[in-house]
A and B are shown apart, each in its own frame.
Chain A
Amino acid sequence: MPLYFGMFISLAAYQLGIQLKKRWKLAILNPLLAAIIVVIAFLKLTGIPYAKYNEGACYLSYFLTPATVCLAIPLYKQLALLKKNFAAVMAAITAGVAASALSVFAMALVFKLPNAYYVSFLPKSITTAIGMEVSKEAGGVVTVTIVCIILTGIFGNMTAELVFRLLKVKEPIAKGLALGTAAHAIGTSKALELGEIEGAMSSLSIAVAGLMTVAVAPLMAGLI
């Protein structure tokens, strides 16, 4: 298998997703989700194992850390706006982190989940690197946490525009905070598409919500 196969098929599938979205103009037709489905379908149809695909595709993932560092750029550009609205920003992220912990707790009660699964879901809205550690620390199943974090990100990225329209959310600051707090970096890639203010606020939310969850999760973990 050529090393560049994984990289090429990922990029081509994403481009296909962009074309499909342009053609049908549907918010639900998300290029990222389309790319993931196309790549999975292609691997299943051809019988190419994931390990072979990932030999080349993994280099794409390596750029995630420097890309996260670069989230400082939109944040820096909107620093004046952040200072002016500091109270709203902190209140919103705090409310979001609390809403995440409490809703996971409520759902765990409804489904009578054992502790190991419950704590695996607690860090579902924060960035993978922090979430994995939180889950491990609390005795969760790390695989379940990773899958849930990624699906949360994709789902948030896909539905955000619809949610904002239904709830009549107009403020770019509010949209950015909601995307970053609910759907971490994958949500932030949508926020960056919506605009610079959205992108900046979402970038900030990844860091703040992530750090807050580190503090909150151990307290919540003991409740079930």
Chain B
Amino acid sequence: MIVPVLLGLSLLVFAISHLLPGDPVALAAGPQATKTEIAALAHELGTDQPLPVQYWSYLTGLLSGDWGQSVLTRRPVLADLRIYLPATLELVVAAMALAIVIGIPAGLLSAVFVDRWPDYLSRILSLGAISMPRFFLGLLLQLGFAMQLGWLPLNGRYPIIEDPPPFVTGFLSLDALLAGDPDAVWLALTHLALPAIAMSLSPLATITRMMRSATIEVLQQDYVLTERALGLSRWLIIFKYVAKNAMSSSLTVIGLYVGWLLGGSVLVETVFDWPGIGLYATKAIVTQDFMPVMGVTLAIGVVFVLVNLVIDLLYGVLNPKVRLG
């Protein structure tokens, strides 16, 4: 599964980046560069080779851990990704955790109280939340909690004047915990809070809606009627039997959202100056520096495929019927 997807993805990304107009090498060489200087740079970077040769060397490089280098900074893409990808992943994981922890109970409650006020409230809130631009919500959060109230830091991932905890997982909050430094944990979490909230809103809304409609469906099943006839209490039925069965459709959404949030992380990262792959890709895109863009796209593809692999396994945990041999 993962190999053909990545093979196709690398070919597609490579093709698109070479179909686009513009001359990245000339851009990287600078406005004063002469034709011979540009040609020399192109030769050095290998961009004067025929396209199939370039793709082949890119592909073999990918497999051996060489993801190319930025034309502009001359830094290897893989080394950059090792710094920026964990930052974005930390944000996405925090956002998804918020969305799941709030969205699943909210959807359950909405379904149990269907067509009564808790249901109306959660439906209107979730429709509003889906329509809210993440970058605008981010600005509003900054305006309220950072600028006016001063409770949380305005932007960034960690104070520049402080030394971050030693790199283990790349998740600052986790690394600080591993280093046993409560102050650092606090610093990391306070910086994480606002961007994670801004990012969590639309998956939260979608999970609530999915959970609501799935629960309504499950509540109409015969076995629920049987359990009630047997005299089981309503909340026991809901939490022990209904929730588990309704959760599998939300799992699909969670899997899709991880990819979507990774690709859309640029919006929240721009607002909060969060040093992740979104900002990294934006800088590269503006300067038409395609190696980093291809690297980011492939990295998102890898994470996406892996997350959905895990989710396929989780289906089996939730529903024994889908366990395969």
Does A pair with B? no
A residues in contact (CB < 8 Å) with B: none
